[in-house]
C-alpha cells in the first residue's frame, strides 16, 4: 500500500464509542463514582463528542436501552448532531430484570419470552427514531446446572425470537448477534461462541451478522482466525473491542495484548474491511472502573489506530511471496516488521492533516473539560451500572 493510501485509510477510519463507558462502573464488589460523570444520555453524548473532537475518528455513539432511554429519541439524535456526533448501534438489554432469572428469549415461561421479545422490537422502534442501522443483541441466557433446562428447546426459543425480531427490521437495518462463552450463566450459555451465532445468522438471512466481542473467548482462542473466517463468509457485522486478562474484563482495547489487536486488524486490512462502507462496525465496549473515562476512551481509540496503522504497513506483496515460497521465517518476518514499526509519528501527521492536535491525550488534558464537568455536574443521579 502506498503511503498516501495508508494515510487516507487512517483518516477515513471510524470507531464507535459506547455511551456506557462514560457512566460509573465497577465489579460485583464495588462501583466507584467519579466527579463529573454524566447524569443523562445527553451528558454521555457530550462526553463522547469530546473523544471525537480530539481524535477525529470517533463520531458515532452506541446507546444501551434502557440505560439511555429518553422520551424523544429523534430529539436525542438532533442533540447528538449538534455535538458533532451521531447515534449508532442500539444495544438491547434483556439481562437486568428479575423476570430474566431463568433467561429472557429462552426462558421456559412464554410470558417472559414475550416480554423480552417486546423489548427487542421496541429497540427497532428506537432505531427508526434515531436513524440507527444496527441492533445489537447479547443474551445473558443460559443455565447454571446440568439438567436445569432443555438445551435444544432453548435453541428453538432463541431462533423464534431472533426470527420475529429479524422480520421487524427495515430494509437498511441489521441485526448483530453477540456471543459470549460464559457469564452470567456458568454451565451453559445459549449463544456461547461464534459458531452458534453464525449458524443462527445464516438461517436468518443477510441482515443478520455476528459480533465479535474480543473479551468473550476462552484464554488462548485465536480470535483473528474467527475474524478471517467470518469475513470470508460475509458474516462479520461488528466488533466490541476491549481487553481481557482473565475474563470479560472490559479493559482498554490493546492494553492487555496489542499484538493480538494488530493480528485482528491485519485480517481486516487483508479483507479490505476497514473502509466505513465495508459493513464491519468497529465499536468499543469498555468500562473504566478506576481510570478517568474520557481520556481512557481517547487512549482506546488511539490504540485501535496504532494497530490499524501497523496492519496497513504490512508489505502484502512480500508476505504473499514468502507464503507462496513456503518461507516460514520470511513470512513471519514481514508481519513482525510491520508490527515493530513505531507508527506514532505517522499518526501525529494524520491528525495534523485533519486539523487536530497531534497529541489527543495532552490536548484533552489542557482543554479544561474534565474540570468543567466536575464543577458543573453536581447533584442528580450519576449514570452507572449500580452493581
Ligand atoms: C456483555 O458482556 C456485553 O459485552 C454486551 O455487549 C452488553 O451489551 C455489554 O457487555 C454491556 O457492557
Ligand atoms: Mn460486548
pLDDT string in tens for the chain (387-residue length): 899 999 999 999 999 999 999 999 999 899 999 999 999 999 999 999 999 999 999 999 999 999 999 999 999 999 999 999 999 999 999 999 999 999 999 999 999 999 999 999 999 999 999 999 999 999 999 999 999 999 999 999 999 999 999 999 999 999 999 999 999 999 999 999 999 999 999 999 999 999 999 999 999 999 999 999 999 999 999 999 999 999 999 999 999 999 999 999 999 999 999 998 999 999 999 999 999 999 999 999 999 999 999 999 999 999 999 999 999 999 999 999 999 999 999 999 999 999 999 999 999 999 999 999 999 999 999 999 754
Pairing state between β 188-189 and 174-178: unpaired
89 lines ligand 1 (CB under 6 A): no
Distance 82 CA to ligand 1 centre (A): 28
The answer to whether 295 and 328 have CB atoms below 8 angstroms apart is no
The answer to whether 343 and 7 have CB atoms below 8 angstroms apart is no
- Residue with the smallest CA separation from ligand 1 atom 1 is 138
- With the most atoms of ligand 1 within 8 angstroms of its CB, the residue from 100, 285, 288 to mutate is 285
Distance 321 CA to ligand 1 centre (A): 41
The answer to whether 105 and 157 have CB atoms below 8 angstroms apart is yes
Distance 240 CA to ligand 1 centre (A): 8
Alpha carbon of residue 164 to chain centroid:
24
Cell of 243: 481487553
138 lines ligand 1 (CB under 6 A): yes
- DSSP H helices in the chain: 3-12, 41-55, 73-83, 110-130, 151-168, 194-204, 223-232, 258-270, 293-312, 316-324, 328-339, 344-353, 360-367, 369-376
Q: Which one, of 219, 103, 220, 113, lies nearest residue 151 by Cα? A: 103
> Atom of ligand 1 at shortest distance to CA of 92?
8
Assign 3-state DSSP to the chain and report helix, strand, coil percentages, each to 5: 50, 15, 40
Q: What is the pLDDT of residue 386?
A: 54
pTM of the model: 0.98
Alpha carbon of residue 381 to chain centroid:
26
Q: What is the pLDDT of residue 343?
A: 98
Phi, psi of 248 (to 5 degrees): -90, 65
Cβ count within 10 A of residue 140: 18
Domain borders along the chain are 3-376
- Residue with the smallest CA separation from ligand 1 atom 3 is 138
**Ligand sitting nearest the alpha carbon of 182:** 1
141 lines ligand 1 (CB under 6 A): no
- Residue with the smallest CA separation from ligand 1 atom 10 is 285
**Ligand sitting nearest the alpha carbon of 247:** 1
User: In degrees to the nearest 10, what's the CA dihedral of 332, 336, 338, 339?
Assistant: 140
Cα–Cα distances (Å) from 110 to 117, 221, 257, 270, 332, in that order, read 10, 36, 43, 45, 54
Q: What is the pLDDT of residue 387?
A: 44
**Ligand sitting nearest the alpha carbon of 191:** 1
- With the most atoms of ligand 1 within 8 angstroms of its CB, the residue from 18, 64, 240, 253 to mutate is 240
Class of domain 3-376: alpha beta
Beta-carbon contacts of residue 22 (< 8 Å; ≥ 6 apart): 37, 38, 43, 44, 47, 48, 293, 294, 297, 383
- Residue with the smallest CA separation from ligand 1 atom 2 is 248
Using a CB cutoff of 5 Å, list residues around ligand 2, an ion.
Answer: 213, 240, 285
Cβ count within 10 A of residue 361: 14
Distance 216 CA to ligand 2 centre (A): 8
Distance 180 CA to ligand 1 centre (A): 9
Amino acid at each position: 500500500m502506498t503511503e498516501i493510501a495508508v494515510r487516507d485509510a487512517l483518516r477515513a477510519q471510524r470507531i464507535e464509542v459506547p455511551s456506557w463507558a462514560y457512566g460509573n462502573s465497577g465489579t460485583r464488589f464495588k462501583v466507584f463514582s467519579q466527579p463529573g460523570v454524566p447524569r443523562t444520555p445527553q451528558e454521555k453524548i457530550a462526553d463522547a463528542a469530546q473523544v471525537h473532537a480530539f481524535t477525529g475518528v470517533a463520531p458515532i455513539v452506541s446507546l444501551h436501552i434502557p440505560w439511555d432511554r429518553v422520551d424523544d429519541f429523534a430529539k436525542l439524535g438532533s442533540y447528538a448532531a449538534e455535538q458533532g456526533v451521531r447515534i449508532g448501534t442500539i444495544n438491547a438489554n434483556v439481562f437486568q430484570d428479575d423476570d430474566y432469572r431463568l433467561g429472557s428469549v429462552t426462558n421456559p415461561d412464554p410470558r417472559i419470552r414475550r416480554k423480552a421479545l417486546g423489548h427487542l422490537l421496541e429497540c427497532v422502534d428506537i432505531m427508526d427514531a434515531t436513524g440507527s442501522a444496527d441492533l445489537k443483541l447479547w443474551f445473558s441466557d443460559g443455565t447454571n446446572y446440568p439438567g436445569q433446562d432443555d438445551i435444544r428447546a432453548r435453541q428453538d426459543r432463541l431462533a423464534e425470537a431472533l426470527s420475529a425480531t429479524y422480520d421487524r427490521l427495515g430494509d437498511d437495518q441489521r441485526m448483530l448477534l453477540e456471543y459470549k462463552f460464559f457469564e452470567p450463566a456458568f454451565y451453559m450459555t445459549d449463544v456461547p461462541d461464534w459458531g452458534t451465532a453464525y449458524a443462527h445468522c445464516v438461517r436468518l438471512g443477510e441482515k443478520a451478522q455476528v459480533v465479535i466481542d474480543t473479551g468473550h473467548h476462552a484464554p488462548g482462542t485465536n480470535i483473528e482466525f474467527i475474524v478471517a473466517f467470518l469475513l470470508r463468509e460475509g458474516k462479520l457485522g461488528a466488533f466490541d473491542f476491549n481487553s481481557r486478562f482473565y475474563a470479560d474484563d472490559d479493559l482498554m482495547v490493546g492494553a492487555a495484548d496489542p499484538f493480538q489487536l494488530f493480528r485482528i486488524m491485519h485480517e481486516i486490512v487483508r479483507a479490505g474491511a476497514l473502509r466505513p462502507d465495508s459493513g464491519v462496525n468497529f465499536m468499543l465496549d469498555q468500562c473504566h472502573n478506576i481510570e478517568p473515562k474520557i481520556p481512557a476512551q481517547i487512549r482506546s481509540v488511539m490504540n485501535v489506530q496504532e494497530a490499524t496503522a501497523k496492519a496497513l504497513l504490512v508489505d502484502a506483496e512480500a508476505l504473499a511471496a514468502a507464503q507462496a515460497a513456503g518461507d516460514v521465517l520470511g513470512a513471519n518476518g514481514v508481519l513482525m516488521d510491520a508490527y515493530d514499526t513505531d507508527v506514532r509519528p505517522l499518526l501525529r501527521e494524520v491528525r495534523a492533516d485533519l486539523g487536530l492536535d497531534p497529541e489527543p491525550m495532552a490536548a484533552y488534558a489542557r482543554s479544561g473539560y474534565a474540570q468543567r464537568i466536575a464543577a458543573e455536574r453536581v447533584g442528580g443521579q450519576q449514570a452507572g451500572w449500580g452493581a
